[in-house]
């Protein structure tokens, strides 16, 4: 898959470092300056992800991506463990509890902890479609994460409008990815 014009020089590229540490096959092609930022095309090839621990200094760099990383857990060899992220229990809502609940609804094996969670890897079973419930105060990225985690995206999401406001073409984009 080729994703065009992604900002690649900032704290936001830390997610690429996390993916690389798990064994993802991602290359940055044709980096260039656009609107005073370095952007490039990401070439992503299918690969087996080993999973791992996300903790300490990594947490603030990927705080917004933690729900998506947790949702990857069931597709990895070792699962995903998130530590040192207790701040996700305050602010809009208890985002750790909401994430754990919805991953469990889809069949993930999740151990909730005070400062994070552990999502078991692929040997714990496959995800399945489920009714996904987003707390009214749950941020849009959590709805988007749940839409994008395996087969669960095609099932009911009580925040579809919120997902669309964040990413207007999310559902048509997900259909195109699945077709490939």
**Residue 163 CA from chain centroid, whole number:** 14
Instruction: Assess contact for 88 and 66: CB atoms under 8 A.
Output: yes
Residue 44 to residue 26: CA distance in whole angstroms: 5
Pick from 128, 123, 97: which is nearest to 111 by CA?
A: 97
The structure tokens listed for 179 are 């077709």
Which of 64, 84, 94, 115 is an active site residue?
A: 64
Instruction: Assess contact for 82 and 106: CB atoms under 8 A.
Output: no
The reply to whether 94 belongs to the active site is no
Residue 85, helix vs strand vs coil? coil
**Catalytic site residues?**
64
């Amino acid at each position: 898959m080729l994703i065009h014009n992604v900002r690649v020089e900032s704290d936001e590229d830390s997610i690429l470092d996390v993916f690389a540490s798990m064994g993802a096959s991602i290359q940055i092609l044709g980096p260039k300056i656009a609107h005073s930022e370095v952007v490039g095309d990401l070439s992503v090839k299918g690969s087996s992800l080993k999973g791992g621990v996300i903790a300490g200094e990594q947490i603030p760099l990927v705080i917004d991506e933690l729900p998506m990383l947790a949702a990857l857990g069931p597709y990895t060899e070792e699962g995903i463990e998130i530590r040192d992220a207790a701040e996700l229990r305050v602010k809009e809502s208890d985002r750790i509890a909401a994430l754990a609940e919805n991953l469990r609804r889809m069949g993930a094996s999740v151990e909730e902890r005070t400062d994070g969670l552990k999502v078991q890897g692929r040997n714990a079973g496959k995800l399945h479609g489920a009714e996904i419930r987003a707390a009214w105060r749950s941020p849009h990225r959590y709805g988007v994460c749940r839409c994008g985690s395996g087969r669960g995206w095609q099932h009911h999401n009580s925040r579809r409008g919120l997902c669309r406001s964040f990413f207007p073409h999310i559902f048509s984009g997900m259909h195109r990815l699945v077709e490939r």
